[in-house]
Chains A and B, each alone.
Chain A
Amino acid sequence: MTKYEMVVGLEVHCQLATRTKLFCGCGTDGYGETPNSRICPVCTAQPGSLPVLNAKAVELAFRAALALECRLNPVSVFARKNYFYPDLPKAYQISQYDKPFSEHGRLRLSEGGKTVGITRIHLEEDAGKLLHDLGALKIDGSLVDLNRAGVPLIEIVSEPDIRTGDEAHAYLAALKEVLQYVGASRCDMEKGEMRCDANVSVRPEGAQRFGTRAEIKNLNSFKNVKDAIDHEFHRQVAVVESGGRVVQETRLWDAAKGETRSMRSKEDAHDYRYFPDPDLPPLVADESLVARLKAEMPELPAARRARLTAQLGLTAYDAEVLTGDRALADFFETAAAAAPKGAAKTVANLLSTEMLARLNAESLPPSQAPIAPEHLGRLAGLVVAGTLSSKGAKDVFARMWQTRKDPVELVSELGLAQVSDDGALREWVRQAVASNPKAAADLKGGKDAAIGSLVGAVMKLSGGKANPAAVRGLIKEAVQS
């Protein structure tokens, strides 16, 4: 039986994180707002209006391209993509066609993982939104909301390098992480800020030629992308196996039914008659701008993970958790710098348990945590130095979260400092051994597990403040004597 492999390329649209639209001064914050509350003569295509390019959109698009290791073309050209649809008031979309602003990039999926080529990235404007009824109310027409029309997008087209649904998922996750890291896009899928189409074909394993591809639209979550691709692969294999031919067409993913179905193909639908938009001059990649953007480029997540594991000895898992969000990673590094050498692991533990749990519970971004990173570093220092038990550290963290105070101050305020003072410890040990003669005898007789109840007794006597490591040593000493 022939074995088949899938060949997938993804086209991802991401909304650039600008305040205004690509060619006019209307706000991009129209999601969920009054319909048509963000419109003007330009984005509603009133006669005589002219587009003026948003400098910030260019900057963010360039940043995305640099982060994806793309080449920036010195000159790119805006083109009109012509088609009639009511969500497109000009009857054309301003996009880029044969001269996109960047090409030839790549994205590494995860540490040591495969690399997916980026064919090109181009700038374009979004279309509006159509409604066919208002809730239960049927309308004898369709309604148009142009709040989204003209919002800046980049379309990122990958090479057909993806071979499994899981790889597609990993590609999207890595892409989202990078774009968020450099601040190019918020990639909020629920708000439609990141959307994906997939080109899927199959071929016998080992074959060089590509099969005929189908384009799958309407993929609005990472899971949808993976499911749709896997489903489409099996559908196409079944077509080929039964002696049929895959048709080049656009298919729609129906998440509820878990299947793709053919969209009625409209004749001439794809004759877009692109031509350079005479309203817009060519876009020149200004050298000083590009130099500045390169200088400002932050360390990207993959490189950061590698550095944190190598330099600070974090586990791959900790590094993954901490670098997933740039602000969280920044917080960690500031905290680790304020902690003594060797305390980075403790900082990471406190962050990924105590802090992340609270941030999630209160839906706060790391930048709004009511704790200074330096204080977290100092807290880790207190744990490493033995001043605080791990239980004590949890208590102090809780107080830090409420009071924003320095942990050193809180430890003395709360009387939480671990007691390592020999005299005090010896007295507690003496009492514990005296009141637990059986455990003491068992321990002396070689039953090491018996030490647990003795340590427990000391902790109880000390109100939890005894340093457990010191206590164990003293108990052994006491029973042997």
Chain B
Amino acid sequence: MSVTEADVRRIAKLARLRLSDDEVSRYGGQLSKILEAMAELGALDTSGVPATSSVTGAVNEPRADEPRPFPDRERLLDNAPEREGPYFKVRKVLE
């Protein structure tokens, strides 16, 4: 399976990555190889195996609905690139 240049640019755009032309061709090659490796798995007969979205075998491990306030929200705010008082601050978003 071959990943086209257009595929790479589209994926990069969705991931908010700015790639040079060099990178586009390099990553295109790498992505193609990854997909080829995955395609080998496709050769296996899985007709008797149910589809799964999880490999750990774990199911619901819920917690009780009891508030556990985090004690150090200041650190969370300080951890952001920018803050404004009690807010996180980001570049201006319109709409």
Q: Which residues of A contact B (CB under 8 A)?
A: 18-20, 24-27, 34-41, 44, 46, 52-58, 77, 82, 84-86, 99, 130-132, 139-146, 263-264, 268, 271, 273, 276, 278, 281-284, 286
Contacts and interface: CB of A to CB of B under 8 A. Distances in A.
Given A39-B73, A40-B69, A281-B61, 4 more contacts: A46-B79, A130-B93, A146-B88, A276-B53
A281 to B, nearest CB: 4
Contacts of B90: 86, 141-144
A142 B59 contact: no
B88 A143 contact: yes
Interface of B: 10, 13-14, 16, 53-54, 56, 58-70, 73, 76-77, 79, 82, 84-95
A284 B93 CA distance: 39
Nearest to A142: B93
Given A36-B77, A86-B90, A281 B60 contact: yes
B88 A268 contact: no
B92 A54 contact: no
A39 B65 contact: no
15 contacts: A25-B67, A27-B69, A35-B86, A40-B68, A53-B62, A58-B60, A143-B84, A145-B87, A146-B88, A268-B13, A281-B54, A282-B53, A282-B54, A283-B59, A286-B60
B87 to A, nearest CB: 4
A139 B60 contact: no
Contacts of A18: 65
Nearest to A273: B14
Contact of B76 (A46, A85, A131, A140): A46
A25 B67 CA distance: 5
Contacts of B77: 36
B65 A41 contact: no
Nearest to A29: B67
B92 A141 contact: yes
The CB with the most chain B CB atoms within 10 A, among A25, A41, A56, is that of: A25
Describe B's contact surface by its main secondary structure. loop
A141 B86 contact: no
A144 B62 contact: no
Contacts, number: 132
B63 to A, nearest CB: 5
A85 B93 contact: yes
A131 B87 CA distance: 9
A52 B58 CA distance: 13
A322 B89 CA distance: 49
The CB with the most chain A CB atoms within 10 A, among B59, B63, B79, is that of: B63
A157 B64 CA distance: 28
A27 B77 CA distance: 18
Contacts of B73: 36-37, 39-40
Closest 7 CB pairs of A and B: A25-B68, A56-B65, A40-B70, A276-B53, A55-B62, A143-B87, A144-B88
Contacts of B13: 268
Contacts of A77: 53-54
Contacts of A268: 10, 13-14
Nearest to B55: A278
Nearest to A277: B53
A55 B69 contact: no
Given A141-B90, A143-B87, A145-B87, A282 B66 contact: no
Contacts of B66: 19-20, 25
